[in-house]
């Protein structure tokens, strides 16, 4: 795919995701229709409506592409062109009226990212990236920070729904990060955390037990903004579905890996 084709596809995705964001904004002040799909894992009518709308819109953009989507197509195996959708990343935030909420859409060709979009409609911030053409927020180029020391770094993390099963590891990592960095933030949306690393607002992000739709677009944003995305414990390239992800501005990657070592 040429850069011109990628740019056109990125714009088509942006328009589809912005339109989906109008449903989130419309529902923001309405009573929440919330149900549990796990012990603390929520789904709302908005999640389902946004996902359905995105699938219809994206099918018009690339009719041949499959879907890997959190609420309706979570078991799709990545092969060929696939749209990866998280309709409302930060559903718990949405249910409580906390505005760190976004929609994440990425197109992958097998395991290779092509375009990605993370739109935070309540915040008015739409992040886009295309393979080989850079990363943007509201149409303006963005780049990662230049922070190169952990003690000067603002680091984001998250806590998975399977928190009881992973509590010891989460707390051990958190203890190290609290002691060795300038600060830790846990806003509750991995896709937006990654977008903020890409924009230089966070210097690094780490988390475990995420799903492909949580990180597919954000990982491309970080890479295209000049950052680095990998796994930790063990250290290596990140592939969708890996249990742990570390995204940094690049300069902090090795120091962060050292902090997250066994």
Mean pLDDT over 25-50 rounds to 75
- Is 47 annotated in a binding site? The answer is no
- Is 52 annotated in a binding site? The answer is no
Structure confidence at residue 40 (pLDDT): 46
Strands laid side by side in the 236-237 sheet: 183-185, 154-157, 204-208, 244-248, 228-231, 236-237
Q: How many domains does the chain have?
A: 2
Decide if 230 contacts 244 (C-beta within 8 A): no
- Is 86 annotated in a binding site? The answer is yes
Task: List, in order, residues 6 or more apart from 165 with CB less than 8 Å away.
Answer: none
83 and 177, same structural domain? no
- Is 64 annotated in a binding site? The answer is no
Structure confidence at residue 43 (pLDDT): 73
Task: List, in order, residues 6 or more apart from 204 with CB less than 8 Å away.
Answer: 153, 155, 156, 197, 246, 247, 248, 249, 252, 253, 256
Long-range contacts of 255-259 (CB under 8 A, 24+ apart): 255/148, 255/149, 255/150, 256/150, 256/155, 256/204, 256/206, 256/232, 257/230, 257/232, 259/150, 259/176, 259/177, 259/180
- Looking up residue 175, the CATH number of its domain turns out to be 3.40.190.80
The position carrying tokens 């949306």 is: 189
pLDDT exceeds cutoff 60 at 41: no
36 and 113, same structural domain? yes
Strands 66-69 and 81-89: parallel
- Looking up residue 134, the CATH number of its domain turns out to be 3.30.540.10
Mark which of 141, 171, 186 sits at the end of a domain.
Answer: 141
158 and 121, same structural domain? no
Q: What is the pTM of this model?
A: 0.95
Band the pLDDT of 78: cuts 50, 70, 90: confident
Structure confidence at residue 31 (pLDDT): 62
Mark which of 141, 165, 195 sits at the end of a domain.
Answer: 141
Structure confidence at residue 39 (pLDDT): 63
> What is the tens place of the pLDDT at every residue in 48-64?
999 999 999 999 999 99
160 and 136, same structural domain? no
Domain extent at residue 30: 3-141
160 and 126, same structural domain? no
Mark which of 116, 141, 166 sits at the end of a domain.
Answer: 141
Question: Tell me, what DSSP letter sits at residue 199?
Answer: T
> What is the tens place of the pLDDT at every residue in 99-113?
999 999 999 999 999
Task: List, in order, residues 6 or more apart from 236 with CB less than 8 Å away.
Answer: 230
């Amino acid at each position: 795919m040429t850069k011109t084709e990628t740019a056109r596809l990125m714009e088509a995705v942006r328009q589809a995701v912005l339109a989906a964001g109008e449903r989130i904004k419309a529902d923001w002040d309405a009573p929440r229709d919330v149900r549990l799909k796990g012990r603390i894992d929520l789904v709302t009518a908005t999640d389902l409506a946004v996902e359905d709308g995105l699938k219809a819109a994206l099918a018009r953009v690339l009719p041949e592409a499959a879907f890997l989507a959190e609420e309706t197509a979570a078991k799709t195996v990545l092969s060929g062109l696939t749209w990866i959708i998280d309709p409302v990343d930060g559903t718990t935030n949405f249910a409580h009226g906390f505005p760190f909420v976004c929609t994440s859409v990425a197109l992958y060709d097998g395991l290779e990212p092509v375009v990605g979009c993370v739109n935070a409609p309540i915040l008015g911030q739409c992040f886009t990236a295309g393979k080989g053409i850079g990363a943007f927020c509201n149409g303006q180029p963005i780049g990662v920070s230049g922070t190169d020391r952990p003690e000067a770094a603002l680091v984001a993390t998250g806590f998975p729904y399977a928190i009881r099963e992973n509590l010891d590891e989460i707390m051990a990592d958190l203890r190290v990060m609290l002691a060795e960095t300038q600060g830790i933030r846990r806003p509750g949306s991995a896709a937006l955390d990654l977008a903020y690393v890409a924009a230089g607002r966070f210097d690094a992000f780490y988390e475990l037990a995420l799903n492909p739709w949580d990180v597919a677009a954000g990982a491309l944003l970080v890479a295209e903004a000049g950052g680095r995305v990998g796994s930790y414990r063990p250290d290596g390239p990140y592939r969708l579905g890996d249990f742990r992800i570390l995204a940094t501005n690049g300069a902090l990657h090795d120091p962060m890996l050292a902090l997250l070592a066994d």
